[in-house]
Amino acid sequence: EDPALLAAFEARIAAGESIEPKDWMPERYRKQLTRMMSQHAHSEIVGMLPEGNWITRAPSLRRKMSLIAKVQDEAGHGLYIYCGTETLGVDRHELVEALLDGRAKYSSIFNYPTLSWADMGVIGWLVDGAAIVNQTVLAKASYGPYARAMVRICKEENFHKRQGYEICSVLANGTPEQKAMVQEAFNRFWWPSLMMFGPSDTDSPNSAELLKWRVKRKTNDELRQRFVNLTVPQAIAIGITVPDPDMAFDADTGNWEFGEIDWSEFFEVLKGNGPCNRERLDARRKAHADGEWVRAAATAHAEKQKARSST
Ligand code: ACO
Ligand 1 atom 19: the closest Cα is on which residue?
A: 35
pLDDT (0 to 100) of residue 68: 97
State in Å: Cα 118 to ligand 1 middle: 26
Q: Do 39 and 105 meet the contact criterion of CB atoms below 8 Å apart?
A: yes
Q: What number is the average pLDDT over the span 29-33?
A: 98
Q: How many CB atoms lie within 10 A of CB 261?
A: 17
Atom of ligand 1 nearest to the CA of 197: 34
Is there an atom of ligand 1 within 6 Å of 197 CB?
Answer: yes
The answer on pLDDT for 311 being more than 80 is: no
Burial environment of residue 17 by CB neighbours within 10 A (0 to 12, 13 to 18, 19 or more): middle
Q: Which among 31, 36, 218 is the best mutation to test ligand 1's pocket, defined by most ligand atoms within 8 Å of the CB? A: 36
Query: Which tens digits make up the pLDDT trace of 174-230?
Result: 999 999 999 999 999 999 999 999 999 999 999 999 999 999 999 999 999 999 999
Q: How many CB atoms lie within 10 A of CB 57?
A: 12
Q: What is the pTM of this model?
A: 0.96
Query: Which tens digits make up the pLDDT trace of 51-101?
Result: 999 999 999 999 999 999 999 999 999 999 999 999 999 999 999 999 999
E strand intervals along the chain: 248-250, 255-257
DSSP 204: -
E strand intervals along 130-284: 248-250, 255-257
At 28, is the pLDDT very low, low, confident or very high (cuts 50, 70, 90)?
A: very high
Helix, strand, or coil here: 249? strand
pLDDT (0 to 100) of residue 310: 84
The answer on pLDDT for 1 being more than 90 is: no
Q: Is 129 left (phi over 0), alpha (psi -120 to 50) or beta?
A: alpha
Atom of ligand 1 nearest to the CA of 106: 2
